[in-house]
Amino acid sequence: MSSFRLIARLDVKGTNVVKGVQLEGLRKLGEPNLFAKRYYANGIDEILYMDVVASLYERSNLLSIVKEATKDVFIPITAGGGIRSVDDAAAILRAGADKVAVNTAALKRPEILSEISNAFGSQCVVLSVEAKRNPNGGWTAYYDNGREKSGEDVLDWIQQSGTLGIGEILLTSVDQEGTAQGFDMELIQAVTAAASVPVIASGGMGNMAHLVDLVGKCRPNAVAMAHVLHYDKLTIPDIRERLINKHIPVRSVPSCR
Amino acid sequence: MSIKVIVVDYGLGNMLSVCRALEYCGAETSLAVTSKDVASADRLVLPGVGAFAAGIERLANQDLIDALQKFAKSGRPLLGICLGMQLFMSIGEEFGEHNGLDIISGKVKSLPPVNDAGDAVKIPHIGWGAVINAQNDDLWENSVLKGVKPGEFVYFVHSFVVDTNDKHLCIAQCVHDGIRIPAVIKSGNVYGCQFHPEKSGPVGMRIIKNFLAL
């Protein structure tokens, strides 16, 4: 089994890292690359940048942020938000990203996933899914950072996307995001069962028990964390050590105590 | 004085990430696009992300094949990363059979879909994997792996693997779903890394610093 990956998620608005609750009420926290550098130094496995307003305003600050990150951050970088074409993907990959995450554009035109995949390989295509629980069960895929409802059922969308050459799925629970109340376990379990590619679980982690429970029950391949890291609730070496104690395979990091 | 490194730019690779990692490790980088640039290098890196045939075709179009072969014979340090390493081989079997640079005798083959135990092998191999010693401690410590501990993790993204005719050239491996993958190959001052040192955190930086000290 490949090692479980720890990803730091940096939601970016303009030139700041922001954090909201259920993707709303965004608070400015500071310069993205200060966060990225700190997490890199503490042994995170990957960095994920999401421009949370790019789709809305149809522009993105990610290029300069990613370019800057390549000076100090020597681990895989994923960037998403506002990727609408193969050219957008090419630009962000040239700027130093290793993978691109696509949500809004893929819901509007699913072929964009295979176009990027054909041009740069499936390993660099991450389908970002923002899932919101329906009152009567199941989940619907949202876009524009959880603002807009697509009408697409999440599990149907996951199945459909399997033929479009994606490398992995970033699954964000809109309901749990930023609440620190734990993951939407039912959602993550359903998606890992339906997906043929690795799944990154995101949204709701507030403590170590949430993560251990998630890995034990839902078996995602990675977790994307924001709240617990940004607000210093947990440190990366501590998370790693506690996963190792639970016999969950993770990368060993030389700088890790 | 900083160490000068030339990175071959043939349109397939994460040039910026590779250059930045080299610079972080103390190098002064420039890009080589012509055979003259390659010939002038003290130290050369051949990066690469993509398919074997496309890689060789681009090197040929830029008239770099002969220059790279000569450079490899000169004894000056040469590092191939991922596809760059695979292009060193004699033959590539990705989408048909293609001639490689033949700097190191051997083939590039697809990862097998199942291992010896009959279990499926995930392809592509993406993610952090531990490097293990394939030869002996002496060879390990006298290579770009000096100071790296067996069992430390590096970052892989690939579907194909090298198979050198001389098995002693493979100095480090990584086990992926039961398959032993050549992770580092060495022939004199020519090195190949299947993983991406520029994305492998402090372990990758150690390897790059060692390359700069050759």
Question: Residue ranges of the domains in chain A?
Answer: 5-245
Which residues of chain B neighbour A123 with C-beta distances below 8 Å? 124, 126, 157
Q: Is the dihedral of CA B112, B114, B115, B116 positive or negative?
A: negative
- Per DSSP, the residues of A115-174 read HHHHHH-GGGEEEEEEEEE-TTSSEEEEETTTTEEEEEEHHHHHHHHTTTT-SEEEEEET
Nearest to B202 among A71, A98, A254 (CB): A254
The contact set of A with B (CB < 8 A) is: 2-3, 5, 40, 43, 45, 67, 70-72, 74-76, 93-96, 98, 120-123, 167, 198, 251-255
Residue A1, pLDDT > 70, answer no
Whether the pLDDT of residue B84 is over 90: the answer is yes
State the Cα–Cα distance between residues A246 and A88, nearest whole angstrom: 41
Neighbours of A121 (CB within 10 A): 18
Domain A5-245 has CATH 3.20.20.70: yes
Helices (H), A11-153: 32-41, 54-57, 62-69, 86-94, 104-108, 111-120
Asked whether A220 and A199 are in contact (CB, 8 A), the reply is yes
Poorest-confidence range of A8-22, A34-48, B24-38? Answer: A8-22
Contact (CB<8Å) A122/B124: yes
Q: How far apart are the first and last CA of chain B?
A: 15
User: A98 contacts in B (CB within 8 Å)?
Assistant: 14, 17, 157, 199
Could you report the per-residue pLDDT of A152-205, keeping only the tens digit for each?
999 999 999 989 999 999 999 999 999 999 999 999 999 999 999 999 999 999
- The whole-model pTM stands at 0.94
pLDDT at position B183 is: 98
Indicate the class that CATH gives domain B3-212.
alpha beta
- B82 is an active site residue: yes
Indicate the SS3 state at residue A61: coil
Residue B2's pLDDT band (cuts 50, 70, 90)? confident
Q: What is the DSSP letter of B197?
A: G
Say which residue, A120 or B152, is predicted with more confidence.
Answer: B152
Q: What percent of chain B has pLDDT over 90?
A: 91
ipTM: 0.94
Q: How does pLDDT run across A74-85, given as a tens digit for each residue?
A: 999 999 998 999
**In Å, how far from its chain's centre is CA B30?**
19
Q: Do A96 and B14 touch (CB under 8 A)?
A: yes
A54 pLDDT higher than 80? no
Considering CB atoms only, which of A74, A251, A255 is closest to B204?
A74
Is pLDDT above 50 for A256? no
The answer to whether B1 touches B25, Cβ cutoff 8 Å, is: no
Cross-chain CB nearest to A2 (options B14, B127, B200): B127
Residue A186 appears among annotated catalytic residues:
no
Q: Return d(Cα A24, Cα A226) in angstroms, integer.
A: 14
Q: Where are the domains of chain B?
A: 3-212
Q: Is A11 a catalytic residue?
A: yes
Q: With an 8 Å Cβ cutoff, is B147 touching chain A?
A: no
Q: Do A167 and B205 touch (CB under 8 A)?
A: no
Looking up tokens 């890689």 gives B55
Residue indicated by tokens 């000068």: B4
Per-residue model confidence as pLDDT tens digits over B14-65: 999 999 999 999 999 999 999 999 999 999 999 988 889 999 999 999 999 9
Between the CA of residue A59 and those of A13, A28, A56, A84, A101, what are the distances in Å? 11, 19, 8, 10, 15
- Among residues A130, A144, A175, A184, the one annotated as catalytic is A130
